[in-house]
Every structure is written in C-alpha cells, then in structure tokens.
C-alpha cells in the first residue's frame, strides 16, 4: 500500500494540470474539456504504468516517471484530434473507455514513459501501430 501511495503522490506532483486544479487556478471541467489526463481511461492506464514500473524498474521508477511531463495530454491539436490519442482512446472525437481503449492507452503510455516489460501480443500490435503514426 505504501508504494502505491508513493507512486500516486509522485505522479500528482508531476502533473501540472492536476496541481492547477488543486490550487484553484483551473476548474476541473475546463481541464476535462481540453485534455485527456483526468479521464478514467487514462487514470486506469496510469495505474497500470505504475504497476509495470514497480515490477520492471523498481529502482528507477521515479526517474522514468518524470517523462510524464513530456506527454501531450491535449485532446486536439488545432482542428484535428491529437495523433497520440486518435483511435487509441479518442474515437470520432469522443473519449472512450472500453477494453480496447484501455489496453491501447496503457501501451501508448508505457511506450512514452519508457517502461521496458514483456509485452503481450496485443500490446506489441498496439505499439507497432502507435509508432506508425
């Protein structure tokens, strides 16, 4: 339990958008409107990233987690869906949280954060598709 609290506390300290809401500088609905990092599909995937980091990188998980700052959490870029999330967890302009979207979001986040772990066949397929974008 202690390590889970450490992980989520560390993650929260790195998520500037979350801090802006906590500090009252930004309203939660405004954040959800523009970015994807408060949606359930991403929160669940971040939990999966934490589990993978603890399992495969127990001594350097904090160092790897810092990469979360580099992720473009915007839903859209200009008039188009952000290519990072398009057909991953945003379909036809809407955030989705079905099983496939959860698996794809986890795979993309693992790739972006640099989690080295034995991937399932589905994760390898998703990662290959993500690289092709």
Span 82-129, pLDDT tens digits: 999 999 999 998 999 999 999 999 999 999 999 976 566 666 666 566
Residues 23-49: what's their mean pLDDT? 97
What is the per-residue pLDDT for 1? Answer: 85
115 touches 64 (CB < 8 A)? yes
Q: Tell me the pTM.
A: 0.87
| Alpha-carbon span 133 to 121, nearest angstrom | 19
Please name the residues in contact with 98: beta carbons below 8 A apart, sequence gap of 6 or more: none
- Burial call 16-49: b when 16+ CB within 10 Å, e when fewer: ebbeebeeeebeeeebeeebbbbbebbeebbebb
What is the per-residue pLDDT for 131? Answer: 59
Please name the residues in contact with 81: beta carbons below 8 A apart, sequence gap of 6 or more: 75, 90, 93
For 43-88, the pLDDT digits (tens) are 999 999 999 999 999 999 999 999 999 999 999 999 999 999 999 9
Q: Which whole-number Å values give the CA distances from 114 to 33, 56, 118, in the listed order?
A: 27, 11, 13
What is the per-residue pLDDT for 116? Answer: 79
Other CB atoms within a 10 A radius of the CB of residue 89 amount to: 27
Extract the tokens encoding 86: 């398009």
């Amino acid at each position: 339990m202690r390590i889970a609290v450490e992980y989520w506390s560390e993650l929260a300290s790195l998520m500037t958008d979350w801090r802006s809401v906590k500090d009252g500088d930004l309203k939660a609905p405004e954040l959800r409107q523009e970015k994807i990092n408060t949606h359930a599909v991403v929160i669940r995937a971040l939990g999966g990233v934490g589990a993978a980091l603890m399992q495969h990188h127990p001594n350097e998980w904090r160092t790897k987690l810092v990469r979360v700052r580099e992720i473009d959490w915007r839903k859209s870029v200009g008039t188009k869906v952000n290519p990072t999330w398009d057909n991953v967890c945003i379909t036809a302009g809407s955030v989705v949280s079905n099983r496939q979207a959860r698996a794809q979001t986890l795979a993309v986040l693992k790739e972006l954060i640099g989690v080295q772990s034995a991937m399932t066949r589905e994760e390898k397929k998703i990662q290959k598709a993500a690289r092709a974008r």
